[in-house]
Structure 1
Amino acid sequence: MVAFVGWRAVGLWEDAARRPFDLHPVWLLPAGLAYLAGWLPSVWVFRLLLERAGQRVGYADAARAYYCGHLGKYVPGKALALVIRGRLIVGRGGTFGVGTLAAGLETLISMGAGAAVGVALLPWGLAGTEAGERLDRFPGFGFLLERPLIAVAAVAVGTALALPVLAALFTRLAVKLAPAEAREAVRFAPGVLAVGLAACGVGWVWHGISLWCCVRAVGGTAEAADLLACVGAAGLATAAGFAAVFAPGGVGVREAILIETLSPRAGVGASAVAAAVVLRLVWLASELCAAALLYYVRRVPPAGSPPGSRAGSPPDPPAADAVDPRPGL
């Protein structure tokens, strides 16, 4: 995958007008901050799902587990991210099993929101480009390019119709995996998923801003009109990279979609190749900094934190010198 993307990127760069590569580092800091801010709604959703499963985890502890868990996606299969998040809430109001489950459900919600945003904004990203003109020959696609709001409405209606089914599946899965004592408290109503999707959708706007800043950082002339295309490209590329479980961190898959969706735009062009690479580096550096900071700052659980969740946590072991009051024991 990486080799194919590299071959495509080299061809695109050679076909474009040659010009000096200009790097504007001033845009890198806002790109990193916007990326980290884009995950704050997901942290809130993660904590909301924990509460629905009977867990009481503070926002700072949830953020610590969430941002540290990002590093697990670079292991093939990406499941280690869920394990890290579930492990880091133990002793902070949560249990490993329910924490891992909530992390998995949040990931599905977040990636689903990214895919929905990407598909809804795809007509905006392709409108007026050569790629859009080539796709215009397919039945119905030209109609969507001329009326991009219809794509947004179709995605919204499809999501609304799918919410009851998804809520039932999430609840059934959670009941099977949650501790026996917490199963009756586990309920994921369609409204909870709708709120989660809306919150994560806001997060993808920030990820799009981060991508837009990276385009500017490599010398692209992206304007405000290109922001919607960046939001859609960031959501679609990240969701596709997540679906490619064989690619650690979606490497190669994310870059391929970013290059193909952004390169036809006049304000981006060949800068899409450099922007995709810089975006990967900025996002990785931001994840490392946030994970290191939160892990060590919140390494000691706050005073008064329960050893487990309110429901389903094991009791504290008896003291070594405890005397059993029952006779003969």
Structure 2
Amino acid sequence: MSDGGLIQATGWPRRWFRLAVHVLVLLAVAWGVRRTIASALDQLDDFPWHVQPQWLVAAGGLYLLGMLPMGLFWYSSLQAMGQRPALLPTMRAYYIGHLGKYVPGKAMVVVLRAGLLRGRQVQMSVAAASVFLETLTMMAVGAFLAVGILCVWLYRYLPGDDYLLPLAIGLWLMSGLPTLPPVFRRLALRLGVARGDPQIEQKLQGVNYPLMATGWIAMAAGWLLLALSLWAVMRALGIEGLHPVADLPYYTAAVTLSVVAGFLSLIPGGVLVREMILTTILGEIYFGHVVQIPLAGATALSVAVVLRLVGLTAELLLALLLYFVIRHAPRATPTEAD
């Protein structure tokens, strides 16, 4: 057999294996998404509601827009660590990768993002490390905002829910400490990022305090847009007496604390954890004391469920568009990948 025939013969098993892995990943994501949708729809059956579709569309748009500065920080992190992906493929991988959070264990986010950047002058282990940096920074900023808002705006309402502030502080420490540049660099080396790259320590020096300051600004902007997405969902359900600027701290506290707690729970999509905390802050504090509407708890739960469905639908539609419709130029042969 010629050398070309041998290479072709040995290449087939590898291609079939990669195809099988891709199929399994898609099936896992599809299962996670279906499970999340089914759970949300089951909860909605208990509530009478009247929807204004234009506000649901606005909520979905604000949700996706809120993730944009976070994705840009991920791109900046890759650049800071010596990787050279193009911006559009990076953002494509970022948005598609969000579907991985609906699969148990959260690891699928890393698999999807790093896999979609494979062969684009990106070292896979560094890409994985950058995903953790971006995600933990997002959670740290969210928890920090929650702590500040609970202390300044919501403190008088906390005696009935005195676990919220300690929870926010604990989540802030858990997610924030690993993002301190010296700590992150040490953790990255311990987790094996240095494999096959003798220059990795120099690349990790790019994770510094100026980069993290940029990340905190980007994440704060993203969280505020996600909070406005919550406001749009409430408008879609016809809730009156809402003030998008004056009441923004309440929306921000509800979104940040619920999402961060849901993420660190490791439950796929933070199911039930997010709804519990969102319902507590909206129902018992915002609807109960600020807006003072009847059936505050039931209304808050319906808002939480619709918010999840809006976010999931927006993520799914954009991911399908980016994956199947929007394609980029063939990948360059990397000099450092793998």
TM over 0.5: yes
Aligned to 1:234: 255
Match of 2:180 among 152, 158, 166: 166
> How far is the alpha carbon of 1:53 from its aligned partner?
1.6
**1:90-141 CA-partner distances (Å, limit 9, x unpaired):** 122313221111111111111111111122112455366xx446469x9xx9
Counterpart-to-counterpart distance in 1, 2:235 and 2:99: 27
Counterpart-to-counterpart distance in 1, 2:236 and 2:67: 22
Aligned to 1:205: 224
Q: Does 1:57 align with 2:78?
A: no
Q: Does 1:185 align with 2:203?
A: yes
TM-score, with normalisation over the residues of structure 2?
0.73
With over 3 angstroms needed to count, the CA separation of the structure-2 counterparts of 1:164 and 1:68, relative to structure 1, is: closer
Higher alpha-carbon Rg: 1
With over 3 angstroms needed to count, the CA separation of the structure-2 counterparts of 1:165 and 1:273, relative to structure 1, is: closer
- Identity, % of aligned positions: 37
Equivalent position amino acid for 1:173 in 2: L
Aligned to 1:259: 279
Aligned to 1:307: 333
Counterpart-to-counterpart distance in 2, 1:307 and 1:181: 20
With over 3 angstroms needed to count, the CA separation of the structure-2 counterparts of 1:297 and 1:91, relative to structure 1, is: farther
TM-score, with normalisation over the residues of structure 1?
0.75
| Residues 163 and 194, structure 1, Cα contact 8 Å, conserved in 2 | no
Counterpart-to-counterpart distance in 2, 1:114 and 1:274: 23
> How much is the aligned-residue C-alpha RMSD, in angstroms?
3.1
Counterpart-to-counterpart distance in 1, 2:161 and 2:139: 26
Structure 1 residue runs without a partner (length 5+): 15-19, 142-153, 315-329
Counterpart-to-counterpart distance in 2, 1:88 and 1:59: 13
> How far is the alpha carbon of 1:22 from its aligned partner?
2.9
| Residues 101 and 109, structure 2, Cα contact 8 Å, conserved in 1 | yes
**1:143-170 CA-partner distances (Å, limit 9, x unpaired):** xxxxxxxxxxx99xx99xx779811011
Counterpart-to-counterpart distance in 2, 1:66 and 1:164: 21
**1:251-309 CA-partner distances (Å, limit 9, x unpaired):** 0000100000011324363421111010010000011011111122443x426x5322x
Equivalent position amino acid for 2:237 in 1: V
**1:6-39 CA-partner distances (Å, limit 9, x unpaired):** 9xx99xx99xxxxx63322221011000000111
Counterpart-to-counterpart distance in 2, 1:76 and 1:230: 27
Task: State the number of aligned residues.
Answer: 277
Q: Does 1:244 align with 2:265?
A: yes
